[in-house]
Structures are given as C-alpha cells and as structure tokens.
Amino acid sequence: MTGPWVRCYQSRPQARLRLFCFPHAGGTASAYRLWPPLLPAGVEMLAVQYPGREERFSEPALTTMDELVTQLVAGLRAELDRPFVFFGHSMGASVAYETALALRRAGLPMPQRLVVSGKEAPAHAVPGEVHLRDDEGLVRELTALGGTGSAVLEHPELRELLLPIVRADYRLIETYQPAAAAALECPVTAFAGDSDPELTVDQARDWDKTTSAGFDLQVFPGDHFYLMDGRAQVVAALNRRLPLAPSRPTAS
C-alpha cells in the first residue's frame, strides 16, 4: 500500500481515518513509531519519511520547501483515498501546512484537520542562519533544543551521518518564506510547550489566521520537544480532535 514517502507501523486496513505525521528537522518517520497503540482503532497512522534518512538514506536530502512539498504531494496521492488529518511538529508543521495548500491548488482531497506543533504561525516566519554554522554550532543548537540524545551527538560515526541531514533541513526551514494564501477550509489546532525556547504562545496562537473553519490552541508542559516525554498526553489531546474516531484505543 505505502510507498517510500510514508511508513506504516501498524496496518489497519479497515481504518476510517488516516493520520499523517510529519517529522521535525533532522527527524525521521520513526519519531512516531510508538504512537499507533495510543490511537483509536479506526485510525491508521502513516509517518512521513523525508529523503536522506533511514531506508531512504541513499537519496539526497531536499533543501527547499517547494521541492519537498511538490514531491510529497506526488508521493501521498495514493494514500488520500479516505478522510485524513495532518499532524506536524516543528519543521514538520510548516511542511504539513504547505502540503495542505498544495493539495488544494491541485484539486486533491484536503485534510479534515491540520494540527501544528512547536512552530510559529507563518506570519512570524523569519530567515535563520543555523544551517550556516559549523558542525559544533549545529550540535549546540540540537543540544539546546533537547531533540537529539547527547549519546548520538557524541558518537563520531552517528554524528557524521546525522549532521548533513540536520543541515539540509535547517536550510530548508530557514530559507522558507511563506507566501500569502487564502485561509484553509479545515480546522487548525496548534500545540505548544510552555517553555519552548523557540516559540511563544502568542506566535502559536496566530495560526488562527490560517483557517476559516475554527481554531484552538493547547499548551503542554515542556520545552520544544515536549511531545517526547509527554507522548501519551499529546496523543490523547490529538485523539479528542480526530473526526470519525472511536473512543476505544487498540491494545499495545
């Protein structure tokens, strides 16, 4: 069923709803591998896999939003045969938003809801320079955000594999300039950590300007990667916003 652009960790052929999850900068589909048992039985999760990582390691990482979204739309078309929701964290939030806009331009099905996490609204996007730093500068940034274990960064071989992907992703998101777009016709939800050093609650709240169909915001305890330690709480909050989802989850 799935192609190179998504990984399905728990197949649910009878699912009435699909949840597409978009990873953060430097992240992989496996960032969401523990989510399926926490989801309702009627929901199948498909985690997006960007080029250049895990089983797509031999492919070059993409460095512009337009190129990534163009390829994503082509790669996801076959999976849009039932209602779906987009969830994206950090860079993944922007990718999910731009993918929704691209689907609309192409006349393809739209998500039932867009859930954006740990990312400022498009109106607050500004250029960045992290992708221009040397390797030590990239490591300091990752360590400050708490998203990558220090053991990985201290391991020379793993670090050598990880940093080029991180640099490409940072280039993508730091050179991304959102174009003016008509409001989405689906509801938008924003999630944020209350001590995220990269995001204020007001910046998250301004996602309300991207939709004409309703907006809500939920703030969780934690930093930029609040959803790691708070996985169960975050997925429970997401479940409450999934259309057509039965209330009873599957067993682990």
User: Can 155 be counted among the known catalytic residues?
Assistant: no
Find the catalytic residue in 24, 90, 94, 131: 90
Neighbouring-strand partners of residue 117? 89, 191
Q: What is the DSSP string of 197-216?
A: TT--HHHHHGGGGGBSS-EE
Find the catalytic residue in 24, 89, 131, 224: 224
Neighbouring-strand partners of residue 219? 192
- Residue 78 has φ and ψ, to the nearest 5°, of -70, -15
Distance CA 193, CA 195 (A): 6
49 close to 7: Cβ distance less than 8 angstroms: yes
Q: Which residue has the tokens 């995001």?
A: 199
- Active-site residues: which are they? 90, 224
